[in-house]
Chains A and B, each alone.
Chain A
């Protein structure tokens, strides 16, 4: 053990001898324990919730999507024409050929009506290619046809195997004048999702039908990436392969930018509020170290006189600060993580499930969160230690040794 730790450990032990220093040392340790535990717990609760939310979001948003820019379909979309314009096929080909892209699914978004004898129901319509998108919880065995959300099916009294008429707001030109475009399609499946609570679920139908009905709708290419492919890299490749006029590439993060920002803001605010406890503990540490310094003044002077250079005296107080903090902070961090794991494992805190998306408070102890707590504790206590360390290193040995005698 080097000189610095040798002396620091001895001084650490001596902090128990002085009543004032002992109180401040306990205050430091206690404050750091409470502070880090609260930080770890608060961040774990937030991470738990946000993780839940994001997982749900990821399931319902493709990692990458391309929105074709030009509305080529609207100009020449004749009724019944299912053939996509040449430019779009080319775009899909190029996207598919991009490295890291495993699969491309073309989707068409539009609004339309489901009509029966009693009336019409406005619905969001999604045209899908080959199979329904992964985020629609319906078995893949569905035959081509309409896939209805349960709420719509109930409203319209429809069941799988029946049929329904889909009407487009776009009129088609016929020899007898403009007529609304409509098709009657079989109901292939009915699905339900917990997202029904907070968003309108779409009606799905095969792309050719959707194309014919809603030729001017918004198109989107949902990309499935090869395992291990980095979405940002693939996005960059795509952006260089596609001219801005042809289409825009959006990553999952960009698509949910606002939400991600709010989540981070929330975490930052909670962190700052709870970190105040650690800041207060750091003040106690500063006071404790200042008392140690004034009670050890002459001894520091002697060490300097014997040739301990200023840097080492500085390190001595940094080490002492670390010794005074590490116990409390370590205990607090471990206790916080343990409590979070326990609360999550046994679902101790329950929530009304009809209000929240989960029926208990989930806790998730993330390595990154713990690292942030650790670093902030080190920064706060390090700053407090550094302040007294600098004073120790600037001590005038003669003055310091004189002070002990008078």
Chain B
């Protein structure tokens, strides 16, 4: 028996309407009949595009959302039917690591308090002394210094916060850790740190993971088994390498072909399957095979009327497609979509010339010295310009249609290499109103877009 078994899990959110919010006019079929098994000590990766129900499925396992139908069996106990009080005790055994490490950590609690909270609730450790010792050893495991205890979430970088999130799960010694997009909020160079940490911890502590992510490359890297979701259901499931070697479901094929590989040699050989259209709404899923509106191989009648079951096609490879065999054999013709090269036509692709490295290195040293001189000269020059450029900045506040910055620049420097722009662009709110009827309404929108993006990134 597997450690965690989901059988026919459905989560349907009612869509309410009316002044009193009491009339149900439909449902969002967020999770619509999912069965899967997570083996102890292994990683099950759940991949799919946004809105396909990954997070909802993860939350349903923890019963953070109501399960409409189906069972979630952890170590022999069906959580879906557990009364609230017992579920609360079971929750220790299932922990979650969230996408946004900052949003999931209380900014006013220090790390010790954040990590103790769950321990206290579940009666772990006889006193704070004992808990602190345990926390220290876990912090060490996740690669944080023990002086982190007294510090607050904002004092840490994104990657470190994710380590705190992992530590918070670990102190409770859970059976299964559900990681929902554990690295997607992190910078690329930091993602690998957290991925490696999750793998090391699994090896050392024998952890079991359910990893949910939209990034197929990440999921492929850490998972033993991968389940591919589309509109609330699994369309394919296979061991990681088998799925990559031979994706059988048309959606998996398209998804995999769409993931860019950072290697021109590889990209030049690859083809992309371009799907038509967008993801349908889970409130109004297509009939029959849910993928038939976008499927490049969709066949008339059967695909739009009969919903394919997830069936075993051998080697632990499960696929929900009526025509998986025919597609694999290449006997079915494309009916929609397009197959294109992953590389742009005419992209500069002269193969790199391999230089004699020793010679190069020598030349580099000489060049470096030269360049350093030049750099110094530039720096000196720059120092000049900054001062010169300051003047028009001030002038500009006095006069709207700024005295052309270049004038000041020119005066200070015969060759106007550097200048400060003093162009007045409509970026303040007041200006925005004035701009409405003016010529630059469009520029305005663009500028706002820039601002909004900044705000996004600041969050």
Chain B associates with chain A: no
A interface residue numbers (CB < 8 A to B):
none
B interface residue numbers (CB < 8 A to A):
none
